[in-house]
Amino acid sequence: MCGIIGYIGKREAFPFLLNGLAKLEYRGYDSAGVALLSDELCIQKEIGKLSEIQFEEEEGKIGIAHVRWATHGRVSKENAHPHFDCKNEIAIVHNGIIENHRELKAGLVKRGHVFTSDTDSEVVSHLIEEFSAEGCNFEDAVINALKLLEGSYTLLAIKSGENKIVGARKGSRSLTLGISEQAIFPASDVLAFLEWTNKVVYLKSEDVFVADDELGLCIYNLAEDRIVVRPIDTVKCDAEEVKKGEFDHLMLKEISEQDETILRALQQNEEIVQGICDKMRNAAGTFFIGCGSSYNACLTGSYLFSKAAKLHVNPVLASEFENYEHFLTDKTLVFAVSQSGETADVLDAANAAKRKGSRVVGIVNRDGSILARESDGQLFMNSGPEICVLSTKTYTSQVVLMEMLAYALAGKYEEGLKKIGSLYLDIYKLTSRSMREHLAKLAAILYDKRDIYLIGRGAQYATALEAALKIKEVSYIHAEAFAGGELKHGPLALIEDGVPCIVFVSNDNKSKILSNAEEIKSRGGYIIGVASEREEIFDYWIKVPEAEELNPIIQIIPMQVLAYQLAVYRGLDPDKPRNLAKSVTVT
Ligand code: M6R
């Protein structure tokens, strides 16, 4: 889940590397580091966010850099990347996990290598050192080292005296090369270099590349044991989209984009949508898998398909999917839902399905991502880059796609498109300044609460889960969602005077959910209603239009704004919540 970038080209590397790191910081912000190659190798690294680190501008037209989300080894300067060999001549940056690092390290230590970190990554620089000492040239030393690694990774390496970057990708981590007339930029994500080029080479698993200072590029595939040619593609997204613009935070910007992003999600090829629906009708078992918000969208979909299309699908957390794999056959259809298209749990589940001959449809935002490239069919969210760690606009786009499929399955595709499209103005109003102020007042009431509970029924239960996730991940307040009917089976014991509970009201379950709210109110709870009409029971009312089966798109939006306001009220950075990262490439 770390981010890596390299630069080799005709200009000074440092500004490109720092700018690229800023774009990759959503992948990890425990520490950052840079290695530059001129006459000698200079390495700087520090713990903290980029904005807290003062790097000195060093010279060098070749460099590599890293932002870390700690997995092996605590957050410390020693564990920050780049890592080097015993002589400080080789530097590497790495994302992923080297599963056999303990055995490799034990051997290296026995042979006299001195380690300075607790990371799994450092074995790589020492292995390259060892093969170099045996007489291998730099690229062969890297290749020989890679052959010893088990796990899934991307990495970049540079060495004193060698005017080149050698890098590699294996398994579920992505590595892309930005290609311009001035430079080659290897990076975990195109966003890192999009300002300078939109020409990219997507590396495949087990590709090793060598880029030299004449901008020569050679790619060798370890599994095929031969030099390979990868095409140069053009990326569609725009560098401007990743800036905050007039907003204080990316989270608010991305929330505010949803009036448009729901419309972009609707821009699908009808033939593809209908083809997917036919596959759903004919499949012997359909799974919807995802993690976090993407799973909540899958759960929402399961209610919609059941109600609107009378079709049963199984929503499963991707990290739990291995428990269901024995149901997979070549007649099973698996929807893998992931904004990033990089989430390791989702990729593992999709690969397991493919091994059983099941068809995998990716519902994905990033078009160059591994899931987008490796699934059998795709529906794109078209949300543009989402940088804030929290999913907001991509969540509603996922739900839009579920709604669209549900309408199409029910034979109401055109009607569905019109209905969803007509939410444009409502969403605009729900993100307007007056709504933000109304929710800021609520944040002032809630900001110091220990717990917030949320209840819903049917698809609103999934909305409650998503709203709870938003609140807890950005404000660090404990927020927990329940299906309204479950309160009496235990959670009511948690309610005492003043405990806030957010209630999602929809016309089709109004009387039942209001009587659940009554159960809370009569035990002293403070009721916040998300509803089209004010009810006597509400202590605070968040007015939303009644959108019937489309309520899951509408009702989550004020919750995203509330979560944002809570973070701001508590003095937290909503774009970079503690301990989290945007792309979760570890299982
Ligand atoms: O990229 P993905 O959609 O696969 O990511 C899945 C989750 O990691 C993600 O939704 C996460 O829960 C977000 N932080 C939620 O806001």
Give the per-residue SS3 of 396-434. HHHHHHHHHHHHHHCCCHHHHHHHHHCCHHHHHHHCCHH
Rounded to whole angstroms, the Cα distance separating 282 from 289 reads: 19
Is the CB–ligand 1 distance for residue 91 below 6 Å?
Answer: no
Pick the residue whose CA is nearest to atom 9 on ligand 1: 292
Contact 101, 113 (CB under 8 A): no
Pick the residue whose CA is nearest to atom 4 on ligand 1: 338
Structure tokens at 477: 């307040």
Contact 349, 334 (CB under 8 A): yes
Structure tokens at 543: 């007015």
SS3 367: coil
Does the annotation mark 298 as catalytic? Answer: no
Contact 28, 68 (CB under 8 A): yes
Is the CB–ligand 1 distance for residue 292 below 6 Å?
Answer: yes
Q: What are the Cα distances from residue 474, in Å, to 18, 68, 101, 453?
A: 26, 20, 34, 16
Based on its alpha-carbon atoms, the radius of gyration of the chain, rounded to whole angstroms, reads 25
> Ligand 1 centre from 577 Cα, in Å?
13
Give the per-residue SS3 of 378-404. EEECCCCCCCCCCCCHHHHHHHHHHHH
Strand order in the sheet with 526-531: 478-483, 451-456, 500-504, 526-531, 540-543
Ligand 1 atom with the shortest distance to the CA of 584: 8
Q: What are the Cα distances from residue 78, in Å, to 73, 118, 382?
A: 9, 8, 40
* DSSP-assigned states of every residue in 113-147: -----S-STHHHHHHHHHHHHTT--HHHHHHHHHH
Ligand 1 atom with the shortest distance to the CA of 398: 3
Contact 540, 529 (CB under 8 A): yes
Pick left, alpha or beta for residue 28 (phi over 0 → left; psi -120 to 50 → alpha; otherwise beta): left
Rounded to whole angstroms, the Cα distance separating 469 from 116 reads: 38
Is the CB–ligand 1 distance for residue 389 below 6 Å?
Answer: yes
Pick the residue whose CA is nearest to atom 11 on ligand 1: 292
> Ligand 1 centre from 37 Cα, in Å?
36
SS3 353: helix
The parts of the chain modelled with pLDDT lower than 50 are: none
> Ligand 1 centre from 44 Cα, in Å?
31
Is the CB–ligand 1 distance for residue 296 below 6 Å?
Answer: no
If 0-12 CB within 10 Å is exposed, 13-18 middle and 19+ buried, where does residue 426 land? Answer: middle
> Ligand 1 centre from 137 Cα, in Å?
41
> Ligand 1 centre from 362 Cα, in Å?
15
Is the CB–ligand 1 distance for residue 293 below 6 Å?
Answer: yes
Q: Residue 415 corresponds to which amino acid?
A: E
Ligand 1 atom with the shortest distance to the CA of 577: 14
Q: What was the pLDDT predicted at 244?
A: 75
Active-site residue, from 23, 61, 393, 582: 582
Is the CB–ligand 1 distance for residue 375 below 6 Å?
Answer: no
Contact 227, 8 (CB under 8 A): no
Rounded to whole angstroms, the Cα distance separating 389 from 384 reads: 14
Active-site residue, from 2, 277, 388, 501: 2
Give φ, ψ of 86 to 5 degrees: -65, -30
Is the CB–ligand 1 distance for residue 340 below 6 Å?
Answer: yes
Domains of the chain plus CATH, in order, are 3-241 (3.60.20.10), 245-422 (3.40.50.10490), 431-575 (3.40.50.10490)
* 3-state percent breakdown (helix, strand, coil) of the chain, nearest 5: 40, 25, 35
Rounded to whole angstroms, the Cα distance separating 244 from 252 reads: 9
Helices (H) and strands (E) in the chain, counts: 17, 25
pLDDT (tens digit per residue) in 252-279: 999 999 998 999 899 999 999 999 999 9
Is the CB–ligand 1 distance for residue 398 below 6 Å?
Answer: no
If 0-12 CB within 10 Å is exposed, 13-18 middle and 19+ buried, where does residue 180 land? Answer: middle
Pairing mode, if any, of strands 526-531 and 540-543? Answer: parallel
> Ligand 1 centre from 582 Cα, in Å?
7
Does the annotation mark 164 as catalytic? Answer: no
Q: What was the pLDDT predicted at 26?
A: 83
Q: Residue 314 corresponds to which amino acid?
A: N
- Please measure the distance between the N-terminal and C-terminal CA atoms of the chain and give it in whole angstroms: 10
